[in-house]
Structure 1
Amino acid sequence: MIITDEELALTAAEAGAAVVRAMYGSAPVRVQKAAGDFATAADIEAEKTILDVIRAARPGDAVTGEESGRTGSAGTGRMWLVDPLCGTLNYAARNMLVAVNVALRVGSDVTVAASADPFADEVFWTDGDRAYVRRDGVDERLAPSSHSRLVDVNLDPPFPNAPGFQAARLLSDPRFGERFRPRVVSTTLAVAWVAAGRRAAYVTDGHLRDSVHFASGIALCQAAGCVVTDLRGEPPHTGAGGLVAAADRETHAALLELIRDQRSPDR
């Protein structure tokens, strides 16, 4: 039986989410990666499970995993980007706000993606044209909305655009508080929430090309009809880096103005 790329992304994300869910609550075995950065046994086991699913169906594709790095043929134009547990620090602290991200880049475009919430039993996914959330086997079309005024801001490093842009300074701007309500979830599940209308926007610094963390969320937002740019309003991966994903143009414009003012010499 031939499985489509979008169904493979869904199957792989769901398989990883099942591992994350099953291992939740046990004393996390930490594998140190760098100063302040670590993986848990759940990260490693979930990634192994996801990669097994992908390799069984697409043995010729390359894969970049958060924990195992790049494997597969260097010549292929198909690259799976896998983040088995986005929100490791949350998870280790027994906080259920995490995501399992699986995306496929073909050439320069992410063509399918899935972002699973292991604890809400939801998978946000896109076939590259439209975006959905799957619950109990039923797909519902995603509809962005800025009604909540909730804007998630990522405070995790790196910060390549500092000091010209600093996320913490954005949160402290009184104009931000007048218009929006900040949230700091510390997982890219919040990017999928923009596509789903549960967040008005998401803002982060960083160089995000081929990011195992952000590829799925960006693809979801684009397919859902969100406004998605870098920190200077350019298409993603073409300019300053970072990400502003907003439910509508008005919200996006307001956030870009606040970000632009951080670079102003009189501020």
Structure 2
Amino acid sequence: MINSYAGLDDAAVATAAARAGAELVHEMYGQRLTRIDKVAGDFATDADIEAEKAILGILRAARPDDAVLGEESGHQGAAGAVRQWLVDPLCGTLNYAVGNMLVAVNVALRDGAAAVADPFSGEVFCTDGETAWVRHEGADARLAPTSATQLVDVNLDPPFPSAPGFQAVELLAHPWFMEHYRPRVVSTTLALAWVAAGRRAAYVTDGGDLSGSVHFAAGIALCRAAGCVVTGVDGAPVGQKGRGLVVAADAETHGLLMSVIRSRSENRT
């Protein structure tokens, strides 16, 4: 059998894998789904499992020597593999389970190419690690971040490891923030893709090291390649020493948000 994926570059592999997962998510939408409980109220569904199987099938065919970290299946492949793919087959499972279409499918090569697919719009946001674009109905358009919308997505999902020093929800009570921006809550990686695409001015979430997270790696890669400003909530580079994410379309927006975050933190100390 001819391996149709073997000759693809990493961005094309990420795109094909994310699209395959998105097709399963779209196909299973509205069906009666089995709920698989995990921890602390977190759960997966049949759609998560089947989408991840479809993604892994393409990654195995295209990059058999690479390791994979899947949200549902865990680590696969050689422990000493030089390259690792990070897979979140259905980001926004709770949204999906209650009939909300705001979900994403994430596939990222650590420190490399990545794709975020929207199962319902048909868009796939892609990067080769240097440039970023969105593919829709066979056409590609370069991603161009801008803060013109003044919309900022704030992730309100727990846990909040930076509390009491900082909690993202506190932005919503800050008079200056509410005067200049309009908050949104999406609870999926689409929020990051939308910053890269100019549909959001920024995104803020609490958390620990998110650089190697199956939930965030693809979105972070997109935003960096598109030219967004990406740091932790403490202003440090995203990584083991950084906490959470502040992703902004431009330096001015990022600076303004960091000023608000620091003022809230200083008032707590």
Which TM-score applies when normalising by structure 2? Answer: 0.95
Q: Which runs of 4+ in 1 moved over 2 A?
A: none
Residues 114-193 of structure 1 correspond to what in structure 2 (within 5 A)?
114-193=115-194
**Conserved in 1, the CA contact under 8 Å of 2:18 and 2:116?**
yes
> Aligned pair 1:252/2:257, yes or no?
no
**Conserved in 1, the CA contact under 8 Å of 2:231 and 2:242?**
no
Match of 1:88 among 77, 89, 93: 93
Size of the aligned set, in residue pairs, is 263
Q: Residues 56-96 of structure 1: CA distance to partner in whole angstroms, max 9, x if unpaired?
A: 11111100000011111111110000000000000001000
Shift of 1:238: 4.7
Any gaps of 5 or more consecutive residues in structure 1?
A: none
Higher strand share: 1
Match of 2:220 among 218, 221, 228: 218
Code of the aligned partner of 2:123: E
- 2:236 maps to what in 1? 234
Aligned-residue CA RMSD (Å): 1.1
Q: Give % identity.
A: 65
Match of 2:10 among 2, 5, 8: 5
**Conserved in 2, the CA contact under 8 Å of 1:161 and 1:240?**
no
- 1:263 maps to what in 2? 265
Counterparts of 1:255 and 1:88 in 2: how far apart (Å)? 29
Match of 1:75 among 73, 77, 80: 80
Code of the aligned partner of 1:194: V
Match of 2:52 among 44, 47, 56: 47
Q: 1:266 to 1:23 in 2, by over 3 A?
A: closer
**Conserved in 2, the CA contact under 8 Å of 1:142 and 1:197?**
yes
Q: 1:78 to 1:266 in 2, by over 3 A?
A: closer
| SS of residue in 1 equivalent to 2:102 | coil
Any gaps of 5 or more consecutive residues in structure 2?
A: 1-5
